Structure 1
Amino acid sequence: MAMIHDKMIAEKLKRNFEELEPALTSYEAMEEANRCLYCYDAACIKACPTSIDIPKFIKKIASGNLKGSALTILQANPLGASCARVCPTEELCEGACVLNHQSKPIDIGRLQRYATDWAMASSASLFKKGAPQQKQIAIVGTGPAGLAAARELACLGYQVTMYEAEEQAGGLGRYGIVAFRLPNDVVEWEVEQITNLGVKIRTNTVVGQHISVEEMLSRYDAVVLAVGMGAVPNLGIKGEDLTGVYDAISFIKDTKLDNLTSDLIGKRVAVIGAGNTAIDGATSAIRLGASNVKILYRRTEEEMTAYEFEYEFAKQEGVQFEWLTAPVKIIGNDDGQVVGIECVKMMLGEPGADGRQKPIPIEGSEHVIAVDAVIKAIGQSRYTQLIEAFDLKHEWGVVTVNEETLQTSNPKVFACGDVIFGNGQGEAMVVTAVQQGKDVALNIHNVFQATSQSV
């Protein structure tokens, strides 16, 4: 009976991680597509970091040409199926829609999903490898930026090999975005589209361990560094080694791998941080059966970095928010299990070097919140050791690049994605990383073309 009960719980938890947003029906898609005004010089195109011709793909849906619609999307955005699900469309294309001033914007994200879902279901061949080039290119990392660069380079005819430390390709999409927002079959399909173009992917391969940086630089004509970000750093407080303390990245990764723990059923959970990863950790905890989940953030609601739609979703899921609250110590019992978290209330002082008001502890405001688990989500570490192994110029792990070419201090090495985001430079969105991958590919091609013409 216990085995049957455990199986029922596992199945229930798995259902909790099925895709949240329903797909449009054919009727709904046609009706929505016909609302579009097909604007000339459309603002929605300008608002899309990958410059998808949005009126064009929507018009093709309205005319029943789903292959043409999917092709229009994927030509501009190699990860168009993922971005249809995870882009903050209300801030980008939908936010720029002219219908915002009259009724409601076109549901561009779900129409994009409708077209790319058709491509996934039909197994249509949309792209071909370009005429063979003699140059070989290595890409370190198979996240959004790396995959986009690989697709573009393959279409230009280059021989591309990608290196991935994990067991499967996909990076952030595969391991770091919760399944109820981005199912793994979507990521796997996008990876397959790229390997179908002849791109080789070496998984379980750590650069600097399984292949040296020196060998990579000598073997390939160019290297693209697209490694993204690493694990969540420590909070630097007592009690982080207790049972029941989780790294948000590893926590979310386990849910993506279907390692759905029942340990949180009925438990009280505190999540430290207020970015998108913190929201994902909190809502995942709810879906794993936690009875109460609180997000603790040392600043105010106005300073939180999570997208607005993520914040609203978390509140709908029942996540509570404790603003101006910072952890001081994680408290455990004699068995080493988390039983509480000591916090202090904060106030915002003068702006710091980054322009943000600095949180200051309020003396005498210490208090304890009873919790059974803590999820750390205070940002991510950077692959500084790898960056320095390539001998690249960087600032605190943010690689310095030429803004026009995305070349690093080593002209043979280009960089894109999270590894160059930070220190006030850009916003780390999947769609922005995709565009940078495209830019890197074109820049490499231009460098090679210029070199061949000068010989």
Structure 2
Amino acid sequence: MSDIDLKSIYANLEGKDNQLKPKERMTIPQMDMPAQDPVLRSKNQKEVALGYTEEMAIIEASRCLQCKNAPCIKGCPVGINIPGFLDAAAKGNFQESVDIIKEASLLPAICGRVCPQETQCMEFCTVGKTLKDPMKSVAIGRVERYVADLERETNSIKIPAIKESTGNKVAIIGSGPAGLAAAADLRQDGHEVVVFEAFHKPGGVMIYGIPEFRLPKAIVEKEIDTLKEMGVKFEMNFLVGRTRTIADLIEKDNFDAVFIGSGAGLPKFMNIPGENLVGVFSANEYLTRSNLMKAYDKENVDTPIYQSKKVAVLGGGNVAMDAARMALRLGAEEVNVIYRRTRNEMPARVEEIEHAMEEGIKFHFLTNPIRILGDDNARVNAIECLKYELGEPDDSGRRRPLPISGSEFIMEMDTVIPALGNGSNPLIKQTTQDLETTKWGNIVVNENNKSSMDRVYAGGDIVLGAATVILAMGEGRTAAKAITDDLKNR
């Protein structure tokens, strides 16, 4: 989009106060997201996507058809009034816009950056359906990010009103998106809320998992500051199951309810030969060292990180993209993503895949490792892979990868990072006898996110398995409502 085109479109909108006919809105092209140059950004930790200008935000918001049935809301796990906030943004009423978002979500700057809108709200957008491509829908998240960033940058963040104290006390286990969403709603309902976090910083996966170049930590910290100003208390370095059990929180510490939002932090491996070699790291460990412990900041931090030249990242999700792009920024000469299906089946966000490709990361599709090879010092020096072809769809709806006999080949590598998803940490299950879990260790809950234990609720990845930030938030909000309703009836 050239400056001339942008100015022309904006000039055409001025004075119309968003009173456009649907046909006029459909002629407005989607605003591209400005981004750092791929060569420059691959060497730094600064945010890749630079954000919309005011004009771009107004133009993009003006593409919304203001459908009466608002199909986009159906795709939002927390039920944001999307047409409402877009209408306000299109009129330049940015504070009103972000206020509308915050009726359903207190983390708009985060969700605007990392939520997979293309498979949620944008998938249902009438504009995208008309153009037969959800990637051409109204860029809802980009506008959400703009109005949230503007509020933060102008120091106009409003602290939500808190209802009269109920005298009830609720414990939140985990300060990731599910826990923070639950804490916000419960505090607004007038309960005393204490969040217990195992790490030394709150934020969960948003702090230890998602890299700085995709989600700046200062933004997460600012969102959490809002909760603190609301009166939510945070207890760091508190490992539930060791420091205290869930039973302790209820019986000894007198919490009236407990919400478990501890996430899914137990990494999965392929169980192939060589996974115990030096140079093999779970994506969880690799990203935690890089993000939470800032291994990239070598001048100011002493966190050790493996010095890699040729890296193989195994997997096709967002975590795989994060690990691959981080490895590049930590100095790897060559980074390879190995995925046993094709690009079409990759669960990672389209934007993240495109950014990785732009940065020079190599993708090997229809390929999977069958063993990791090491040298005489038990250090990784190669991987043996097998070629695949796609067969019939499996239970996930994606075509099943089938190995091609005799297609083995070897790739030289010195680092291997499996990014194959995560399971639930078994600690809470092991220390909470009455808590029903699945065979994978996920907590079983009902439609209101209540567990098998009285007064205990759960949500997010500990229930769903690895999911998205916004889905986890939706679970936290559902549980918070159920907790308030249940406490009223006690």
- Choose the corresponding residue for 1:247, options 274, 282, 286: 282
* CA gap 1:306/1:62 in 2 versus in 1, 3 angstroms: closer
Give 1:64 deviation, angstroms: 3.5
Verify the 8 A CA contact 1:264 1:290 in the aligned structure 2.
Answer: no
Correspondence for 1:76: 104
| In 2, Cα distance between equivalents of 1:225 and 1:155 | 19
Matched position secondary structure for 2:230: coil
Verify the 8 A CA contact 1:265 1:291 in the aligned structure 2.
Answer: no
Matched position secondary structure for 2:52: coil
Correspondence for 2:266: 231
- Choose the corresponding residue for 2:436, options 376, 390, 393: 393
Correspondence for 1:98: 126
In structure 2, what residue type is equivalent to 1:182?
Answer: L
Alignment of 1:116-155 (within 5 A): 116-121=148-153, 122-155=155-188
| In 2, Cα distance between equivalents of 1:349 and 1:86 | 32
| In 1, Cα distance between equivalents of 2:361 and 2:394 | 30
Correspondence for 1:364: 406
In structure 1, what residue type is equivalent to 2:144?
Answer: Q
In structure 2, what residue type is equivalent to 1:310?
Answer: E
| In 2, Cα distance between equivalents of 1:378 and 1:180 | 22
Give 1:374 deviation, angstroms: 0.9
* CA gap 1:43/1:388 in 2 versus in 1, 3 angstroms: same
| In 1, Cα distance between equivalents of 2:123 and 2:313 | 30
Correspondence for 1:260: 296
| In 2, Cα distance between equivalents of 1:127 and 1:357 | 47
Deviates more, 1:37-46 or 1:164-173: 37-46
Give 1:181 deviation, angstroms: 1.3
| In 1, Cα distance between equivalents of 2:63 and 2:307 | 45
Matched position secondary structure for 2:234: strand
In structure 1, what residue type is equivalent to 2:436?
Answer: K
| In 1, Cα distance between equivalents of 2:242 and 2:123 | 45
Correspondence for 1:214: 247
Structure 2 alignment gaps of length 5 or more = 1-39, 299-304
Matched position secondary structure for 1:90: helix
| In 2, Cα distance between equivalents of 1:124 and 1:13 | 30
Give 1:91 deviation, angstroms: 2.3
Give 1:340 deviation, angstroms: 0.7
1:309 and 2:345 equivalent? no
1:324 and 2:366 equivalent? yes
Verify the 8 A CA contact 1:231 1:247 in the aligned structure 2.
Answer: no
Correspondence for 2:455: 412
| In 2, Cα distance between equivalents of 1:179 and 1:147 | 20
Deviations 1:21-49 (A, max 9, x none): 11212222233333433332322222222
Give 1:228 deviation, angstroms: 0.4
- Choose the corresponding residue for 2:189, options 156, 161, 166: 156
| In 2, Cα distance between equivalents of 1:165 and 1:190 | 19
Verify the 8 A CA contact 2:279 2:306 in the aligned structure 1.
Answer: no
| In 2, Cα distance between equivalents of 1:349 and 1:117 | 45
Deviates more, 1:429-438 or 1:238-247: 238-247
In structure 2, what residue type is equivalent to 1:438?
Answer: R
Deviations 1:332-383 (A, max 9, x none): 2233332111223345567767776665544433321111211111111312
Correspondence for 1:166: 199
Deviations 1:224-248 (A, max 9, x none): 0101011323332333333322211
| In 1, Cα distance between equivalents of 2:267 and 2:228 | 31
- Choose the corresponding residue for 2:231, options 194, 198, 201: 198
Matched position secondary structure for 1:274: coil
- Choose the corresponding residue for 2:421, options 379, 386, 389: 379
Count matched residues: 435
Correspondence for 1:3: none
Matched position secondary structure for 1:243: coil
Correspondence for 1:22: 50
In structure 2, what residue type is equivalent to 1:145?
Answer: A
- Choose the corresponding residue for 2:483, options 440, 444, 455: 444
* CA gap 1:230/1:35 in 2 versus in 1, 3 angstroms: closer
Correspondence for 1:111: 143
Correspondence for 1:47: 75
Matched position secondary structure for 1:293: strand
* CA gap 1:295/1:389 in 2 versus in 1, 3 angstroms: same
| In 1, Cα distance between equivalents of 2:210 and 2:91 | 33
| In 2, Cα distance between equivalents of 1:182 and 1:85 | 7
Deviates more, 1:405-414 or 1:28-37: 28-37
TM-score under structure 2 length normalisation = 0.82
Matched position secondary structure for 1:40: coil
Deviations 1:405-439 (A, max 9, x none): 211111311010001114xxxx8121111111111
- Choose the corresponding residue for 2:330, options 288, 303, 308: 288
- Choose the corresponding residue for 2:220, options 169, 187, 190: 187
* CA gap 1:347/1:54 in 2 versus in 1, 3 angstroms: closer
| In 2, Cα distance between equivalents of 1:311 and 1:278 | 10
Give 1:107 deviation, angstroms: 2.4
Verify the 8 A CA contact 1:50 1:77 in the aligned structure 2.
Answer: yes
